[in-house]
Chains A and B, each alone.
Chain A
Amino acid sequence: MINIIVELSKYLIVILMTLFTFQCFTVFKKSDEEDRKYVLRKQIILLLFIDTAAYLVMYLQTMDFNMLIMYLQVAAYVVVIQVIYRIFYKKASMLLVNDMCLLLSCGFIILSRLDFEMAEKQFAIVVVGTVLSLLVPVIIRKVKLLKDLTWLYGIVGILLLAAVLVLAPVTGGANLALKLGGVSFQLSEVVKITFVFFMAGILRRNTGFKNVVITTAVAGAHVLILVLSRDLGSALVFFITYVVMVYVATKKPLYALAGLGGGAAASVLAYYLFGHVRQRVVAWKDPFSVYETNGYQIVQSLFAICAGGWFGTGLFNGSPDTIPVVTQDSIFAAICEELGGIFAICMLLVCMSCFLMIVNISMKMSNKFYKMIALGLGTEYAFQVFLTVGGTTKFIPLTGITLPLVSYGGSSVICTIVMLAIIQGLYILREDEGVQLERQKQERIQRQEWEDQPSQSKRTGAAGEKSLEEKIEEETEKSLRW
């Protein structure tokens, strides 16, 4: 009996996931606000069904009561987030919130399957991260200073990375984490955010050659320290973000080509200089030839993906625990094995929809600083997804990087949630700007009417010329309602 339920819910989960993904893209087409809201509400229902089905299966398979508790926690988290956003951040992108909830759910489900204690820890971290992130949109609006700290971001970033390089013990061939009072902390995750702020700050006003050179030097320092710390995945993420941001700021394809060309040359150089780079490439080209050592992880991941096929083996029916570091680098393989290839592809499409939404937000911002921040963070996110999924499936060499929001990892999850909150903050600003422009137009018309009447004093006009920022602030205040 249990077998049949497990088997059926396997297909049910795939269908629910497909529907959810489908709606991530159809929602863009809906022009009517009410329709859109309806689709977004439907997504929440689908998401809660996925959680219910998955945790029910896991409960039946383990008969562990904790599974049900975990389910209630996850469901409560999803509901509370929805309520909070609907009350306090009415203007936030609910699609992005839904996507975040879905990816977090995927993470909770597969972590509960792999290592229940980790799932519990992850949940606690997510809750803390979310509480922190709720303050972010307020900070963005209140603290105008953010724009002027460019060099602080750059220096802090380099110092943090250098600290990791010097102080951190070698873990898994990479100086990835710094242990602070029992809690290991991946500073490179924090630096991902400061780096984008630095890039946005320096490229905001001046995109002359000299400024690009300075930017390149600082970005190069970031990347170099990461390569020396053997954190190749992060190094690549930083590098691509740098290329994209410079290109978008300057609009000169030449810079992008030069950047990519230089990156390619640097990769070749790194291949010959560093043994650990070479090992990864060998393990990618022919993992069986180094099966006993560097090829082991990738081969086990591929076995898992094969075992899953399109519909997966069902939760607790596969053996993803044979994959090394499965809860972090190779979590995608575990999802492929137990939840199936279709589910995994849908999850990738959800990640893509996240990225498109972020780019969408970026394109509609009029303030260049915010525009660049949204774009930079979006690029980091998308490229990181590509690196980890591509690495696990042997599309590209494995770089050992986490799948944002899904993989276990405190600093990674907190920083990604904060990143998304920053983007939400910007999105709210954008909505404000929209309202603002509308009103300006009206005022302009009114003013013209007034100017037709000579008796009208100029003071009224001055009042209408309040700086844009002040107006935004007003609007924000209203939208926040606190």
Chain B
Amino acid sequence: MVVSYTFVAIFLALIGYIVYFNTRLSEEFQNSPYNKRQDSYEEQVVRGDITASGGEILAETQIDEEGNETRVYPYGNLFSHVVGYTSKGRSGLESSENYHLLTSHAGAMEQVQKELQDEKNMGDTIVTTLDVKLQQTAYDALGGNNGAVVVMEPDTGKILAMVSKPDFDPNTLNEIWDSLVSEKSNTNLLNRATQGLYPPGSTFKIVTTLAYMRAGGNLNDFYFDCQGEVTNGGYTIHCYNNNVHGAEDFAAAFAKSCNSAFAQLGVDLDGDSFRSTAEELLFNEKLPITIPYSKGSFVLDDSTPDALAMQTAIGQGDTVTSPFHMALITCAVANGGNLMEPYLVDRIENYNGEQVKKYTPSAYRELMSADEASVISELMQGVVESGTASRLSGKNYTAAGKTGTAEHGDMSGLPHAWFVGFSNVDNPDIVVSVIAESAGTGSDVAVPIAEQIFDAYYN
């Protein structure tokens, strides 16, 4: 009897799983860029439009009199990475939403009629969360720099803008393809916002602070006398430009981004618990996004030598991450510790504009407690009030953030400029994450870029 019950239970579990798979998991597989079955839909369906949140068309299929289809991207380079392309393979939303673009929810009668007339049905429209104005501002603000900008709503998870440079014009992809892929050094196709991996520099001090708090450190009792450098295990870390910050409390060390104080924390912290804090903030973890991305990487344990521990604590060393990942951490800080599931597609409509499916905000995970988030938020406000991002103070909005100036390569060139932050600190509106490659300090280069975006949002 036991045996037959056990087997019946196993069978029912299997059937339950198949039902679950068909209702819940199947969309992920249907949307997979590896799924070649979708290609056969193209014979029956005209690829649908992709629009911005305000209805502006970002991609559409035009059909000439002879029935030839051309995919047109009215904004050219502006949305090149996030919207992507669909000739020469697929990328961005063109890839991740391929299934929906090639599915038609036109009226049943119309579909039958077209089928009988051997005509193609019209695919569904993807209405994204992207905001043309913010995207344009971010694109212009990044200017001639290589790098990326991500703008998100922390309380919903909506991605409002995602810029990556260098870029390309998807309208002319067929012509420029050979030059894009022939040279190994050409990285125009890479979406730096999600796939670019950079040392996080001082923006990582958010993580170090959290690790310190979790190790039982009391920020109010903290005191450090900065001599402009600190030496452990025969290795010396300097403050930026060898500035001497003198006696400082924790808020001041964070606001002025004092490398010496944080490097010392790195030595004092237990490597394993430091790593587990970083992993709770999604380092070495999968990120919740449907377009391709690279995982952030954090390697540290008990046996790490002091030199590397110090570098790691100030966001150098072997740690790398993407601008999108830093945006997610900032979103959690801005949203009381809760990370909302980030998303790019607001809803799907049929080609007549009738809603087929609506995506609503959902919580992804609590990255930190509400108390921790509020402490870090306060420290980040200090950065704007009296620290490296003071340029954002005295505006018609309040802001909080953290700058970063990340050394890279052989350290001969200019550092990468970082900024992560949010506006309207009491009830945060948007989170901005900026990186400008080899462009200078976070304070001088990245903060002004973020400033233009905040200004555009409020004015």
Residue ranges of A at the interface with B (Cβ–Cβ < 8 Å) = 3, 244, 247-248, 288, 291, 299, 302-307, 309-310, 318-319, 322, 341, 344-345, 348-349, 351-352, 355-356, 359, 363, 375, 379, 382-383, 385-386, 389-390, 393-395
Contacts and interface: CB of A to CB of B under 8 A. Distances in A.
Interface string B77-108: 00000000000000000000000000000000
A299 B18 CA distance: 15
B457 interface: no
Contacts of B19: 341, 345
A196 to B, nearest CB: 14
Interface string B1-18: 111100110110111011
16 contacts: A247-B2, A288-B32, A288-B34, A303-B36, A305-B22, A319-B40, A345-B15, A345-B18, A348-B11, A348-B18, A351-B11, A352-B8, A382-B11, A383-B7, A393-B17, A393-B21
B15 A348 contact: yes
A363 B3 CA distance: 11
B37 A395 contact: no
Given A345-B15, A395-B14, A305 B4 contact: no
B98 to A, nearest CB: 13
Nearest to A351: B11
Given A3-B115, A341-B22, A307 B17 contact: no
Given A309-B26, A319-B37, A341 B18 contact: yes
Nearest to B8: A352
B35 interface: yes
B10 A379 contact: no
A386 B11 contact: yes
Contacts of B222: none
A303 B11 contact: no
B68 to A, nearest CB: 26
A248 B29 CA distance: 42
Interface string B199-215: 00000000000000000
B14 A247 contact: no
B393 interface: no
Q: Which residue, A248, A349, A356, A395, has most C-beta atoms of chain B within 10 A?
A: A395
B29 A306 contact: yes
Nearest to A296: B34
A78 to B, nearest CB: 25
A348 B34 contact: no
B3 A248 contact: yes
Given A303-B37, A306-B29, A359 B3 contact: yes
Contacts of A356: 4, 8
Contacts of B29: 299, 302-303, 305-306
Contacts of A305: 18, 21-22, 26, 29
A386 B3 CA distance: 14
Given A359-B4, A379-B3, A303 B35 contact: yes
A417 to B, nearest CB: 21
Q: Which size class do B's interface residues fall under?
A: 20 to 34
A394 to B, nearest CB: 8
Given A379-B3, A393-B21, A307 B14 contact: no
Given A244-B3, A348-B11, A359-B3, A395 B17 contact: yes
Contacts of B34: 288, 291, 299, 303
B30 interface: yes
Contacts of B8: 352, 356
A355 B7 contact: yes
Contacts, number: 90
B45 to A, nearest CB: 15
The 9 lowest CB-CB distance pairs between A and B, nearest first, are A306-B26, A359-B4, A306-B29, A352-B11, A306-B30, A395-B17, A382-B7, A303-B35, A341-B22
Contacts of A304: 37
Q: Which residue, B2, B8, B34, B40, has most C-beta atoms of chain A within 10 A?
A: B34
Contacts of A248: 3
A344 B18 contact: yes
Nearest to B99: A306
A348 B22 contact: no
Contacts of B26: 305-306, 309
A344 B17 CA distance: 13
Contacts of A389: 14
Interface of B: 1-4, 7-8, 10-11, 13-15, 17-19, 21-22, 26-27, 29-30, 32, 34-37, 40, 115
A349 B115 contact: no
Contact of B14 (A318, A322, A355, A390): A390
B445 to A, nearest CB: 37
A363 B2 CA distance: 12
Contacts of A310: 22
A389 B11 CA distance: 10
Contacts of B35: 303, 306
A348 B14 contact: yes
B156 to A, nearest CB: 28
A348 B13 CA distance: 12
A359 B6 CA distance: 12
Contacts of B11: 348-349, 351-352, 355, 382, 385-386
Contacts of B115: 3
B134 to A, nearest CB: 32
Contacts of B14: 348, 386, 389-390, 393, 395
A348 B19 CA distance: 13
B97 to A, nearest CB: 16
B103 to A, nearest CB: 12
B285 to A, nearest CB: 13
Contacts of A363: 1
Q: Which residue, A3, A302, A306, A395, has most C-beta atoms of chain B within 10 A?
A: A306
Contacts of A395: 13-14, 17-18
A303 B22 contact: no
Nearest to A390: B14
B362 to A, nearest CB: 22
A383 B7 CA distance: 8
Contact of B22 (A247, A309, A394): A309
A349 B15 contact: yes
B10 A386 contact: yes
A322 B36 contact: yes
A354 B101 CA distance: 44
A59 B34 CA distance: 32
Given A307-B37, A355-B11, 5 more contacts: A303-B32, A306-B22, A306-B26, A355-B4, A393-B14
Contacts of A348: 11, 14-15, 18
A386 B8 CA distance: 11
Nearest to A352: B11
Nearest to A382: B7
Contacts of A244: 3
Q: Which residue, A291, A310, A363, A393, has most C-beta atoms of chain B within 10 A?
A: A393
B73 to A, nearest CB: 28
B5 to A, nearest CB: 10
A344 B30 CA distance: 19
A302 B17 CA distance: 13
A99 B347 CA distance: 46
A247 B3 contact: yes
A299 B27 CA distance: 13
A208 B393 CA distance: 84
B126 to A, nearest CB: 19
Contacts of A383: 7
A40 B11 CA distance: 24
B47 to A, nearest CB: 19
A288 B18 CA distance: 20
B152 to A, nearest CB: 26
A375 B30 contact: no
A303 B7 CA distance: 28
A356 B3 CA distance: 10
A352 B6 CA distance: 12
Nearest to A385: B11
A306 B21 CA distance: 8
Contacts of A247: 2-3
A382 B3 CA distance: 11
